[in-house]
Structure 1
Amino acid sequence: MSLTARAIFSSRVTQGWLEGQDFAPQGSGHSSSPCPTFQRILTAFQLLGLLGSMKGMTSNSVASECVLKMYEEGEINIINKTELTQFEAHFVSGNDQTQACNVANFAAVGEDSPLQRAEWIKFVGAFTNLENRANQVYKAVKDNYMCLTKFAEAKEKAFKPIVAWMEYYNGIWSFTKETYKLKYVEDAGGENVDGSINKITYNISNPDDIEELHAILCTIDILIDETYTSDPVGYTQATFLQNINIEDESCFGFVTNQSLWRYDKRIQNLTTLEDWFDGAVSQPQLVLADLIEILFPSGNYNTTYFRNIAKGEGVISIGPNMCDRNISTAMDPIIPACR
């Protein structure tokens, strides 16, 4: 039996889809009964116009205004994970779990470039008979991303800021080596600090490590702090400086020039569930536009995912009251001007 035939049969039996954080479009005539797991696929669903037919979810911890609104109004319900086997396709975002026959791995986060991550919307489109819409969305995203890249190329001729992505855990600072993040910096017209680093991790209790880390930080123009925190609202520049354990930060250009950033600007219910892990995957053009503004400030662009803690910028708490569009229609990708 073909996938389409099995999917239609499943749709008739279940009268819906399940998304694996989880959500289920109801009474749909599309080819499968998807059950995308985790935060990383919600925006793809909205861009494809699948949100209005969702039936249920296994958790209300989502960074989507309209999903939260549907849940609040009773349009979708919490569904037990033991019910997942009745659905034709169960989308997951990792391959570290037992792979049932109905599991489809949405592996966007494993890709090495921002556009490769975004292109996984085509994978979702193939499972839902929405290939044309998926191709249309990806083309719009890619075209805008490339346009922004060309704009950044013109900017970098005069100055190429040095950027570092760092995180702190259990007394140790480390520099990020994730390829897609380094690619973002390059495409935004910046230079990654990684090429000048002899090692990745630095223990703040080791004087030699502190001295070496201090020397590196003095070469950085822009720092992106990725440190996990259970209290994003309370995470400020003072928190960063305390974690760095260096008394003299006078040579830190990113402090003097107030360019210390975090990508937890959009969170749900003031928790650590960041839209960075969903919207930023499907709409990398917004991340790139943010980074161009960070590297080459114009003063007339509001960042989507990044907040400047050096200037005391706070978070935006995502709630159902922020859903201001018709959820039965496909959401168009946001296209920043190639200013």
Structure 2
Amino acid sequence: MLAGQRSLLRASLLLRPHTPPMLLIALLVSAQLAAAAVGSGKTALAVVPRGSTSHVEDAALFRLYYGQSFKVIKNSVDGRSYLLLQNNTTMASRTKYCSGRIKSFIIPLFNYSVDTTFFPVSFFELLGLVDSLKGITSESITSQCVLKSYANGNIQLINKTDPRQLTPFSAHFTSADNEQACNFAAFVPLEERTPLQRAEWIKYLAAFTNLEARANSVYDAIKGNYICLSKAASNLTTHFKPIVAWVEYSQYIWTFSAEDYKLGYVTDAGGENVEGTSSNQRYNVSSSDDMENFYALLCTVDVVIDQTHAPEPAEYTLSTFLENINADEDANFDFLRNKCLWRFDKRVRDSSALDWHDGAISQPQLVLADLIEILFPTGNYDPTYFRNIAKNEAVVSVGPEACSRSTSAPLDPIIIQC
């Protein structure tokens, strides 16, 4: 018996439900590697994974490992390992794990549900998996073809607080990282720090459905376009880069956003983030000293992106912003005089869901193209996710009627000329 085969045999004998997750991964992966690296003799047979595989290039919070009949996803956010077993293998019929550190799933999935709270279901559209989505926990989504499938009765609305409604699904994807049910799987691209890291989570979902080839193609196109746009933006930058501030008003307090991915967008678009974004400074509208400091920084800004939450986005206008900031239209701010006051709530569904939390995550190249147009306006490009409230631009309602293709057909990423 070859050394690699002996390693596989030893690993299979050790695979029992009580095996610690990290030991399990080590055994499975090392056994496959051993089989593939048994010297250089021509009689040694390498164990090659079936089908296509994905390699994580940019994402920091998950990793993929492949065996001949299994895959392992290590999720660094929820601390779990997901053992994915091909449905036509002996291993799938004999192996079952469900613990705080490891869960097993039979793949490919054909019947899954999603907790749609802050969940970018557009990833499923890009993979062509809408028809396999059978349950959602709310109608607050902006993915047009998912809405179309739901309207046609192919997707049911489920109560996520009732476990009986969740157990029939082979997997229930959630954005939470502390769920314990055996069929729950955490999908958390929002925890990543950069736009491309978030977008690469398409490979995470693809592993559950054996669609790695599709995921690789989509991500390569998105990443290539993003890098191309960023390089083009660097050539547009003048000696002084436009200064951008992401601001938010909540409970009489103004703050500057310091979220890494937002600051990264500005840099990649050829701009510069305002001073103060790295601090936790809060500016209380009832404090004249606070507001003087806030106004002083705003006087240095060329573009403001107001991300204040609005229960009715369509009703958030320039007047709303001016009232919150306690200023009028004649205030001596460049971003007001030059009409550069923006919000990312342009695409909205029934006032309850913003496409910023969905499509903008899976296709960051569109956000970057928007910001480049905002910083270096040409008038030849209509931003997808941003609207200019200084120019009274309105929101765009998203609905199922906008899905003009079959729900079984994958959505191709939009590539912007650069």
Q: Same fold (TM over 0.5)?
A: yes
> How far did residue 249 of structure 1 move?
5.0
Report the equivalent of 1:276: 356
- Give a deviation string over 1:221-248, Cα, whole Å, max 9, x none: 0000000010111100110010001358
Task: Tell me the TM-score normalized by structure 1.
Answer: 0.88
Counterpart Cα distance in 2 of 1:8 and 1:242: 63
- Letter of the structure 2 residue corresponding to residue 107 of structure 1: V
Report the equivalent of 2:114: 36
Task: Tell me the TM-score normalized by structure 2.
Answer: 0.72
Counterpart Cα distance in 2 of 1:182 and 1:8: 46
Distance 1:227 1:216, change over 3 A: same
Report the equivalent of 1:252: 333
Report the equivalent of 1:235: 316
Matched, 1:102 2:180: no
- Match of 1:305, SS state, is coil
Report the equivalent of 1:286: 366
Report the equivalent of 1:216: 297
Counterpart Cα distance in 2 of 1:169 and 1:291: 24
Report the equivalent of 1:61: 140
CA contact (8 A) 2:144 2:401 kept: yes
> How far did residue 54 of structure 1 move?
2.8
Report the equivalent of 1:88: 170
CA contact (8 A) 1:167 1:225 kept: yes
Higher relative contact order (CA 8 A, sep 6+): 1
Distance 1:206 1:80, change over 3 A: closer
- Letter of the structure 2 residue corresponding to residue 254 of structure 1: F
Matched, 1:143 2:221: no
Greater shift, 86-95 or 186-195, is seen at: 86-95
Distance 1:50 1:238, change over 3 A: same
Counterpart Cα distance in 2 of 1:311 and 1:7: 56
Report the equivalent of 2:249: 168
- Letter of the structure 1 residue corresponding to residue 136 of structure 2: M
CA contact (8 A) 2:113 2:135 kept: no
Report the equivalent of 1:225: 306
Within the candidate set 312, 326, 332, 2:406 is matched to 326
- Give a deviation string over 1:81-135, Cα, whole Å, max 9, x none: 332123332211122x433232221111011100000011110011111111111
Report the equivalent of 1:311: 391
Counterpart Cα distance in 2 of 1:298 and 1:210: 34
Counterpart Cα distance in 2 of 1:224 and 1:8: 51
Within the candidate set 340, 348, 368, 1:267 is matched to 348
Report the equivalent of 2:238: 157
Distance 1:128 1:209, change over 3 A: same
- Letter of the structure 2 residue corresponding to residue 49 of structure 1: G
CA contact (8 A) 2:257 2:277 kept: no
> How far did residue 277 of structure 1 move?
0.4
CA contact (8 A) 1:36 1:90 kept: yes
- Match of 1:168, SS state, is strand
CA contact (8 A) 1:7 1:31 kept: no
- Give a deviation string over 1:12-62, Cα, whole Å, max 9, x none: xxxxxxxxxxxxxxxx98346443322433110000000133323232221
Q: Any runs of at least 4 consecutive aligned residues in structure 1 with deviations exceeding 6 A, and if so which?
A: 6-9
Within the candidate set 361, 374, 378, 1:298 is matched to 378
Distance 1:251 1:196, change over 3 A: farther
Matched, 1:185 2:185: no
Counterpart Cα distance in 2 of 1:8 and 1:80: 32
- Match of 2:113, SS state, is coil
Distance 1:50 1:104, change over 3 A: same
- Match of 2:245, SS state, is strand
> How far did residue 175 of structure 1 move?
0.4
Matched, 1:45 2:124: yes
Report the equivalent of 1:24: none
Counterpart Cα distance in 2 of 1:248 and 1:278: 33
The structure with the largest alpha-carbon Rg is 2
Percent sequence identity is 53
Counterpart Cα distance in 1 of 2:84 and 2:284: 54
Counterpart Cα distance in 1 of 2:124 and 2:179: 24
Report the equivalent of 2:201: 120
Distance 1:106 1:279, change over 3 A: same
- Letter of the structure 2 residue corresponding to residue 88 of structure 1: S
Counterpart Cα distance in 2 of 1:32 and 1:126: 13
Distance 1:73 1:87, change over 3 A: closer
Counterpart Cα distance in 1 of 2:315 and 2:373: 24
- Match of 1:35, SS state, is strand
Counterpart Cα distance in 1 of 2:109 and 2:279: 51
Count of matched residue pairs: 318
Structure 1, gaps ≥5 residues long:
10-27
- Give a deviation string over 1:169-198, Cα, whole Å, max 9, x none: 010000001000000000000000035876
Counterpart Cα distance in 1 of 2:146 and 2:192: 26
CA contact (8 A) 1:8 1:32 kept: no
